[in-house]
Structure 1
Amino acid sequence: MTKYVVTGATGHLGQRVVQELAQRTPATNITLGVHTPAKAQAFANQGMTIQKLDYQDVASVQAALQDADVVIYIPSKSHDSFSRVTELEHVLTAAQAAHVGHFLAMGFIADQADNPFDLSAFYGYLPRRLAETGLSYTILRNALYADPLVPYLPELIERQNVIYPMGDASLSFISLADSAAAFAQVAVTPRLWQQSVYTLTQERSYTMPALAAVLSQISGAKIGYAPVTLQQFSDLYNQGNEGHMLASMYAGGAQGLLATVTDDYHQIMGRSAQSLPDFLKASLATASTTK
């Protein structure tokens, strides 16, 4: 019996990873490390073990990872690299003490040394730190999630423009569903562990005019491209004090650092990731039927 431990299991990606993992191994093989166990009750009802985990409490991390064969580490939503590096150190300390068989970590394409993204230091630190641990590990670097485009679309229709401060550069996307499927597939497939880093993307990236054209086609509304400044973007979307972090991500994007496209997803899954137009069509159709 292989014991899988998923941290951050009640977040947007974590929940989907758990659902995908449960299609590949019995629920009784899965332990979820979560900050608020009550949020994982539905998974507990399926037979999964729920373990309280606080990334800042080394003892709770060690308890959650005890006897783990495979750990899927999904970071917290903290907005600064220092906090995330601190939690990572706690998780790695626990993983080494538990002699974890394989460590699977969520990365992000904005990890370049010259990337101004607020969290690039963490994502750049992740592979270097894992490389020196002696652990068997795999990092899955996500492209930008396509999912936020769906609730964002009404605002873009009202503005009649995509406003990302990206200049002529491109953005690469992946859906949460496709990312989660890849995480689960790698977790249960030891032959895929031979490659230490995969980058999960769709088959193409999009300049902002190309993205606007896709959104226009899907919505039936005319959407163009009229970028705001980085400061304006930060001010517009500063809910939860996330404005600077989001703006810094697009600052990196404007340098061409979010445009990566690979065939790694096909290598893992044996098929291509869902295209952005197909994802948007399916998501909007689902949204209309659930109203």
Structure 2
Amino acid sequence: MREQKMIVVTGATGQLGRLVVEGLLAAVPASEVAVVVRSAEKAADLAARGVEVRTADYNRPETLAGVFAAGDRVLLISGSEVGNRIPQHRAVIDAAAAAGAGLLAYTGVLGGDAAGFRLADEHKATEAAILASGLPYVFLRNGWYSENYTAHAADVVERGALVGSSGEGRIASAARQDYADAAVAVLTGDGHEGRVYELSGDVAWSFAEYAAELSAQAGKQVAFHNVSADEHLKALIGAGLPEGFAGILVDVDAGIVRGELAGTSGDLARLIGRPTTPLAASVQAALKA
């Protein structure tokens, strides 16, 4: 059994995981960092830098035996397979509990049990499983990444139109880097056990304001067209999205209308010790890319 207590990041080759690992490597020696990934090949660059790579498949719980050790600080980054995340997350939780992990941090969703959109359901179930496990925990309830929208900024500018059903609802998004920095702060700091952090950007914005920002930076008029939920669903399906996923996105917009993603608790800025990244900066980065 390993004697050295490690910081262990699951899903470390994903977009958020990569940023978290980079932040950890800037804060602690590589010998104190481990990653749990499905493909060791995708983490070969991390191994070359001294990070311990542990392979496991969340869909095969038996492969998780031995990937955690007593005292490890574990970051469970929520999986990307919507609909399959509850058993996957439970497999990680069970393995961490069996090993006697010292802390389990989980990247959930803003609002936790109070969130009314369907995408939150698996996060709620995961938090309940963590509480039932008896593990020392930290809930990092991440709000929306600005990149959820700015990743498509160039396409939106080209079309000159942004379509949604969020009305005048607002979103307190932050850059993915901000959320990664918060996870690093928790994993490398003290006094976070048992805490629930509602993480979001400092300023909430509307889609009309987002369209105006795109217009200003691209030098081309972009309009926000607010449509009904049914029209939004048809538009997304027409754009090639699977009906199930399109329905989830429309349901999120309904949550935005209810104000569920507009909260600005300040937890994120306090954890990272600086203001969160403004939407304008994320737009600028996306358009340059």
Q: Do these two structures clear the TM 0.5 threshold for a shared fold by scoring above it? A: yes
Q: Say if 2:178 and 2:272, in contact at 8 Å, map to a contact too.
A: no
Q: Deviations over 1:18-58 (max 9, x none)?
A: 11111111111111110111100100100111111111222
Query: Where does 1:66-85 land on structure 2 (aligned, <5 Å)?
Result: 66-67=69-70, 69-80=72-83, 83-85=84-86
Deviation at 1:222, TM superposition (A): 1.2
Q: Deviations over 1:70-111 (max 9, x none)?
A: 00101221121xx21111211111111111001111111264
- Percentage of pairs with the same residue: 25
Q: In the alignment, what sits opposite 1:175? A: 175
- The list of structure 1 runs, each at least 4 consecutive aligned residues, that deviate by more than 6 angstroms after superposition, is none
Q: Say if 1:110 and 1:252, in contact at 8 Å, map to a contact too.
A: no
Query: Where does 1:1-291 land on structure 2 (aligned, <5 Å)?
Result: 1-67=4-70, 69-80=72-83, 83-109=84-110, 111-112=112-113, 115-117=116-118, 119-191=119-191, 193-194=192-193, 196-228=195-227, 229-235=231-237, 236=239, 238=241, 242-285=245-288, 287=289
Cα 1:108–1:237, aligned 2, differ >3 Å: closer, same or farther?
farther
Deviation at 1:148, TM superposition (A): 3.6
Task: Supply the distance in 2 between the matched residues of 1:157 and 1:266 (Cα, whole angstroms).
Answer: 30
Q: Say if 2:145 and 2:174, in contact at 8 Å, map to a contact too.
A: yes
Deviation at 1:67, TM superposition (A): 3.7
Cα 1:237–1:26, aligned 2, differ >3 Å: closer, same or farther?
farther
Cα 1:251–1:110, aligned 2, differ >3 Å: closer, same or farther?
farther
Structure 1 unaligned residues grouped into runs of 5+ = none
Deviation at 1:8, TM superposition (A): 0.5
Cα 1:271–1:45, aligned 2, differ >3 Å: closer, same or farther?
same
Q: Which moved more, 1:274-283 or 1:230-239?
A: 230-239
Paired residues, what number? 282
Q: Say if 1:110 and 1:123, in contact at 8 Å, map to a contact too.
A: no
**RMSD across aligned positions (CA):** 2.0
Cα 1:283–1:153, aligned 2, differ >3 Å: closer, same or farther?
closer
Q: Say if 1:79 and 1:245, in contact at 8 Å, map to a contact too.
A: no
Q: Deviations over 1:165-224 (max 9, x none)?
A: 101211221111111111111100012x14521122111111221221222222222112
Superposition TM-score, scaled by structure 1 size: 0.89
Task: Supply the distance in 2 between the matched residues of 1:233 and 1:101 (Cα, whole angstroms).
Answer: 47
Task: Supply the distance in 2 between the matched residues of 1:98 and 1:270 (Cα, whole angstroms).
Answer: 33
Q: Which moved more, 1:219-228 or 1:92-101?
A: 219-228
